[in-house]
Amino acid sequence: MATLSVNNITKYFYEPVEFQVLKNISFEVEKGEFVAIIGKSGSGKSTLLYLLSTLDTDYEGSISINGIQVTGLKQNKLASFRNEHIGFVFQFHFLLPDFTVLDNVMLPALKLNRKSKDEIEHKAIELLTLLDIKGQEHKKASKISGGQQQRVAIARALINSPAIIMGDEPTGNLDSKNTKIVFDIFRQLAREQGQTIIAVTHDDEFAANCDRIIELSDGMLVDTI
């Protein structure tokens, strides 16, 4: 069973005039696949990511994640579904600067409230160790480097063991050294832990090294390599 199934997605914008931004998009992503979504500015790739991540529900067609059809779910159900099943890594890390690294990683799991605080802290430390930032956990998020902050954001995205990590230009603010580190982390997560990852990127080298490329042009899927 595919981790993500997208069927005949069509999306319109209505302001300032009606405009069809996505046109009959269909594809599937399997568990453990590392997929890049590419396309020129205005191609619809970021809009597609927002639909896939359930942040935008105004579209035609259907989307299923982990066998659950998310299309048509009420907003409160979608909010809890996102927290449990989807991890987010954005171009900017969106950490809480006055919270510690550990607190930032633990927050989504504390919100989900499925495990004790001790269990959540243990999992958070495991993830920080995996991402090679053990020893930074009691520092404020504002006091570590940009590359480390993005790794903390990845740990936070992983804390609830999501079905999918959605990345929106996850290396867009990083230099080449930290871009490689983040890419290698994603690659390791996909290969060794079966983590499904979907990332919108402008970085051709990043995309070329993913398992598969989904390319959009003028709102249409033109290639899936």
Site of tokens 């480390």: 148
Which domains, ranges and CATH numbers included, belong to the chain?
Answer: 32-58+87-224 (3.40.50.300)
pLDDT band at 224 (very low <50, low <70, confident <90, very high): low
pLDDT in tens, 177-207: 888 888 888 898 899 888 999 999 988 888 9
Q: Rounded mean pLDDT of 91-116? A: 86
What does each C-alpha distance from 147 to 59, 108, 142, 161 come to in angstroms?
A: 35, 21, 12, 22
Say what the pLDDT of residue 10 is: 95
pLDDT in tens, 17-62: 888 899 999 999 999 999 999 998 888 888 999 899 998 889 999 9
Give the three-state DSSP class for 198: strand
pLDDT in tens, 149-167: 888 988 898 898 888 999 9
Closest C-alpha among 214, 200, 207 to residue 91: 200
Residue 117 burial (C-beta neighbours within 10 Å; 0-12, 13-18, 19+): exposed
What distance in Å separates the CA atoms of residue 109 and residue 9, rounded to the nearest whole number? 31
Burial 104-114 (b: 16+ CB within 10 A, else e): bbbbbbeeeee
What distance in Å separates the CA atoms of residue 211 and residue 65, rounded to the nearest whole number? 19
What distance in Å separates the CA atoms of residue 79 and residue 100, rounded to the nearest whole number? 25
Q: Is the pLDDT of residue 223 over 90?
A: no
* pLDDT over 70, % of the chain: 97
- pTM of the predicted protein model: 0.85
Closest C-alpha among 53, 57, 86, 60 to residue 74: 57
Q: Is the pLDDT of residue 131 over 70?
A: yes
